[in-house]
Structure 1
Amino acid sequence: MSDRSLKLAINNHDLAEAFFEDTRLLGIMAPVKDYQFCWQLNSMLGMDFRINNDIEIRLNKKKRDYYFSVFEFKEPTGSLAHYVYKNQFDGEYLLPEFKHLDFLWLMKDDWVSDPDLQQFIQQVKSLNGVQLVAELTNERIKNKEHLVF
């Protein structure tokens, strides 16, 4: 086989699986602006979410680009990173299988125990405008690769 006939392909499935190793994902229904939601997280929960335009998600659908904002907060003690994605942009969804959700909260790069996750869920449920908070398991997410930055 010559070097010219060798083709490399990116395996998006394997990439997504590696990205989601040791992560927890929450789906949140809260019909508020993304910056208002993150402001509440910051002021009520003592976090410091900030928009990160470098990891904004761009999807091309129907010959058009759609941009989904991502807010980031890295805990100062430890390696746990938090990412809040806006699930909807101009009528399109980052995860179309979860159209009822406004935000996705990904916790990665460190283990989050079940009791800690339940505490996050209860804290987020207490915020103004939040109607639902639920954990999304990997098996339920059909378009995981849309969350990879």
Structure 2
Amino acid sequence: MKLTLNIDDITDDFFSDTRLLGIIAVTKNYRFCWQLNSFLGYNFRLNRDIEVHLRKKERNYFFPVYQHNVNNTFLNHYIYHNSFDGEYLLPEFKHIDFLWLMKGDAVCDDDCNNLIRSVKTIPGVQLVTELTNEKIKNKGHLIF
């Protein structure tokens, strides 16, 4: 008997009740997370256990993931750096520097819009936009 893994089902399950923001900010990932922590009161920390590893063109690429857990909820926030050594986690969004994934609890439109407005106030942030699941071709790259 041969079992096959259905990646589409795994991807759909992972992305149920998620929101994803794309952020353009010309700064280092650790500095961006420091700014989120300092200016907006988050507690993003590098989580090496969920770092995304891709192998392309016989090379390894590592995309750091920063995590913030919201107390007394199931909601977690993840910041992915979209580029590493000339490769992109989501190549369809090469202009995006950071991806902000909200997962674990539903985030209403008002909360998402307030977050977008808040992030736009950070020095160096040029754009914050919500990325809809339909626009993302390489969703599997975000799964940890």
* Counterpart residue number, 1:16: 11
Rg larger in 1 or in 2? 1
Identity %: 60
Structure 1, gaps ≥5 residues long: 1-5
The residue type paired with residue 93 of structure 1 is Y
Structure 2, gaps ≥5 residues long: none
* Counterpart residue number, 1:54: 49
Match of 2:126 among 128, 131, 144: 131
* Counterpart residue number, 1:76: 71
Q: What is the CA–CA distance in structure 2 between the aligned matches of 1:115 and 1:145, rounded to whole Å?
A: 27
SS in structure 2 opposite 1:15? helix
1:76-119 per-residue CA deviation (whole Å, 9 max, x = no partner) reads 13111000000000000000000000000000000100010000
Q: What is the CA–CA distance in structure 2 between the aligned matches of 1:8 and 1:56, rounded to whole Å?
A: 27
SS in structure 2 opposite 1:131? strand
* Counterpart residue number, 2:23: 28
User: Where in structure 1 do 4 or more consecutive aligned residues deviate above 3 Å?
Assistant: none
Q: How many residues align?
A: 144
CA RMSD of aligned residues (A): 0.6
The normalised TM-score by structure 1 is: 0.95
Match of 2:106 among 82, 87, 111: 111
